[in-house]
Amino acid sequence: MSVEPGRRVAIVGAGVVGLACAARLQIRGYAVTLIDPRDPGTHCSFGNAGCLSRASCVPLGLPGTWKKVPGWLLDPKGPLVIRPSYALSVAPWLWRFRKNTTLERVNAIADALHALLDGTVVKWRPLADWAGVPELIRQEGYAFAYRSEAAFLGDALGRELRRARGVRIDVLTGGAIREFDPALAPEISHLVVLPEQGHVPNPLRLSQALAVRLRAGGATFVAREATGFELAGGRVQRVTTNQGPVETDAVVIAAGAHSNALSSQLGSEVPLETERGYHVMLASPSVQPRIPTASGEGKYFATPMEGGLRIAGAVEFAGLAAPPNYDRADVLLEGAKRLFPGLAHGSVERWMGHRPSLPDSKPVIGRSPRARNAYFAFGHGHVGLTGAPATAEIVAALIAGETPAIDPRPFAAERFSETGR
């Protein structure tokens, strides 16, 4: 089943994933409408660490992860927090998460993620050119800094999974670290550099540029909240919103962490959780890392951005409704000062965003099994900026009735009901 170019495609959600889908569809000749009550790129896509992580084939859950969780939870400054009031709600998701941590599952997930993410820089470039912002796609690499050999060795499996899939990894020690980046703390014992990785020094500007180019190409932006769908003969005819329906020939659900409320109305209930993350944006930093640099232990990134230094990371399970706890952002700032001891700065902006996360670290991409002209593009967790262009290519190919270059089957919504994972 295909939808002819020239037909209307409604995209619910104007985050980076929805915008990339809209761009690919408009380039193919579809008449796109983006439905979103927020300005483009201002929800989770606003505040990420900006990394185009070709190497992020490693799922969050590895065979050893469970052993680390109690320690993280006991440490109020650790990388993972579960709000006590949300512990019961998130328990089923965590149970599924655990089922995906066997070595066999981890390898299968890594293969699927590698296929989706490996081409991110190459796939972003033509979209950024199209939007007039080629300078926003950089390929300078990124690094993980470890303070101890034990922590470095603790991440050996992640490096093995990456190397097995062709990712280049250089390990620096001793004086070579200081030579590479003199701003790093002298206690850093191992610096793992991944030179092929990319980054976006201003994720919001990338989204905004896509939106401007889409508008210039005739796209309509509808500032409303989608509430559901009207179907006839197994096809979506209208997207219902809080201010009346939007007629369409096809629909893409790209509503980030809010997507399950919509996909479930089409019969695809998926275990979508929000992994809340934080950032601090430091104006006028006295030092900038040479390339985006993560703390190996703390799991946060320090990324040189237009307008300052951004420290982004942390995982907090507290649901969509709870207010931010900006203490989590301050913990990131403390960590960054340990990573870069000379770091002084001007004003500090704190931010919290909702990563849309599935328990097997893979997004949901594909056609709805119930509504023949509805497509899913959500749940990218920690890698939405990275995975957006490949997701867009898959969705556009499916809508056009073509076989996508990347196999979408590992990303099907049905995987959860079929396997219980």
Ligand X SMILES: Cc1cc2nc3c(=O)[nH]c(=O)nc-3n(C[C@H](O)[C@H](O)[C@H](O)COP(=O)(O)OP(=O)(O)OC[C@H]3O[C@@H](n4cnc5c(N)ncnc54)[C@H](O)[C@@H]3O)c2cc1C
Q: Which is nearer to ligand X, 31 or 117 (CB)?
A: 117
310 binds ligand X (CB under 6 A): no
CB of residue 233 to ligand X, shortest distance in Å:
24
Cβ closest to ligand X, residue 43 vs residue 235: 43
Among 190, 258, 345, 367, binds ligand X (CB under 6 A): 258
The amino acid present at 243, given as its one-letter code, is: Q
Binding-site size for ligand X (CB under 6 A) equals 41
Helix (H/G/I), strand (E/B), else coil: 191: strand
13 lies in the binding site for ligand X (CB under 6 A):
yes
217 to 246: interface string for ligand X, x by CB under 6 A: --------xx--------------------
For β-strands 220-222 and 198-199, DSSP reports them as: unpaired
Q: Which is nearer to ligand X, 150 or 320 (CB)?
A: 320
Is residue 300 within 8 Å of residue 289, measured between CB atoms? no
Does position 10 interact with ligand X (CB under 6 A)? The reply is no
Single out the residue of 96, 165, 205, 279 in contact with ligand X (rule: CB under 6 A).
279
Whose Cβ is closer to ligand X: residue 189's or residue 221's? 221
Distance CA 18, CA 30 (A): 14
Q: CB count, 10 Å around CB of 181?
A: 20
x/- string (CB under 6 A) for ligand X, residues 48-87? xxxx-x----------------------------------
Task: Please identify which residue in 289, 313, 335, 366 interacts with ligand X, judged by CB under 6 A.
Answer: 313
**Do residues 410 and 112 touch, judged by C-beta distance below 8 A?**
yes
47 phi-psi bin (left φ>0, alpha ψ -120 to 50, beta other): alpha
> Measured from the CB atom, is 226 or 250 closer to ligand X?
226
Query: Of 6, 20, 51, 83, which Cα lies nearest the Cα of 317?
Result: 83
Q: Of 183 and 311, which has the nearer Cβ to ligand X?
A: 311
Contact between 44 and ligand X by CB under 6 A: the answer reads yes
Rounded to the nearest 5°, which phi and psi values hold at 262?
-95, -45
Q: Three-class SS of residue 226? A: strand
- The structure tokens listed for 393 are 């290519």
Question: Closest CB to ligand X among 35 and 333?
Answer: 35
Tell whether residue 23 is a contact of ligand X (CB under 6 A). no
Choose between 3 and 117: whose C-beta lies nearer to ligand X: 117
Among residues 383, 392, 397, 413, which is the contact residue for ligand X, using CB under 6 A? 383
- Secondary structure letter of residue 411 according to DSSP: G
Q: Determine the residue type at 51.
A: C
Integer-rounded Cα radius of gyration of the chain: 21
Please classify residue 3 by burial: count the beta carbons closer than 10 Å to its beta carbon, then call 0-12 exposed, 13-18 middle and 19+ buried: buried
Binder to ligand X among 12, 90, 374, 399 (CB under 6 A)?
12
CA dihedral sign, ordered 190, 194, 198, 203: negative
Say whether 404 sits in a helix, a strand or coil.
coil
* Interaction between residue 353 and ligand X (CB under 6 A): yes
Q: Which residues bind ligand X (CB under 6 A)?
A: 12-18, 35-38, 43-45, 48-51, 53, 225-226, 254-256, 258, 277-279, 312-313, 353, 355-356, 378, 380-386
